[in-house]
Amino acid sequence: MNKVVIVTGGSRGIGAATSLLLAQHGYAVCVNFHSNVQQAQKVVESIEEQGGKAFAYQADVSDEKQVQAMFVATRQRFGTVSHLVNNAGILFTQSELKDIDVERFKQVLDTNVIGCFVCCKSYINQLDEEGAIPGAIVNVSSAASRIGAPFEYVDYAASKGAMDSITKGLSLELAGRGIRVNGVRPGCIYTEMHADGGEPNRVDRLAPNLPMQRGGTPEEVAQSILWLLSEEASYVTGSFIELAGGR
């Protein structure tokens, strides 16, 4: 089977590690990014240096037209998009709920929830046009959906809770068609996202209090995504892998 995957937010962190790992396992990869073309291009170059196939594509996942165009471009380049990783996500500065304004919350929902939703929709529409082929989606949620992220970003936690509901509902809609939909819930992972939350060293601060007493790496998350997309996980759908060091 020709394995073609779109990894949203593939330019850095978990998305970059996932793009690299999937390419090493034979996937042709669309490395989606929003603003950082240089970093996305670096990921593509690393993949190509290792003999893999990839291209970088700029699209705001919250914009349905841009997402549709990304699916068309990927299909033209590599063939039917057989797999999808909804990884793009944002958060803002740590704040109590009372200090979060509505505009910020809407922005978080737009990228994290609407983004996941329109990518899933485009993926299914494309499969409908091509005729059903077995495929799989992995949604990158967060342990925050369970924990609620109090005093940090309840808006972000809520967006991940919504993503989990999409994962569950869509998995049931697609189960009879051989298309699996699962989620991963990372905990504290070493990426640049924490700087966006105003605390670049957040993982080091929290690590001593985690059951495993350390933060996780993007590569550890990527391994679980690889497995969930693969035929090794052929009877797994509507499931979530916790990657939070026991938290």
Residues that bind ligand NAP (CB under 6 A): 8-9, 11-15, 32-36, 60-62, 87-90, 111, 115, 140, 142, 186, 188-189, 191-193, 196
Q: Of 40 and 136, which CB lies nearer to ligand NAP in the complex structure?
A: 40
Minimum separation from the CB atom of position 176 to ligand NAP (A): 28
Shortest Å, Cβ 46 to ligand NAP: 15
Give the C-alpha separation, 220 to 189, whole Å: 9
Say how far apart CA 205 and CA 214 lie, in whole Å: 10
> What's the closest the beta carbon of residue 199 comes to ligand NAP, in angstroms?
11
Q: Which of 27, 57, 156, 190 is catalytic?
A: 156
Q: Beta 179-186 vs 28-33: how paired, if at all?
A: unpaired
For every residue of 8-66, DSSP letters joined together read TTTTSHHHHHHHHHHHHTT-EEEEEESS-HHHHHHHHHHHHHTT--EEEEE--TT-HHH
Instruction: For ligand NAP, give the closer residue by CB, 134 or 210.
Output: 210
Q: How many CA atoms lie within 13 A of 24 on its CB side?
A: 12
Active site residue 123: no
Nearer to ligand NAP, 15 or 52 (CB): 15
Active site residues: 156
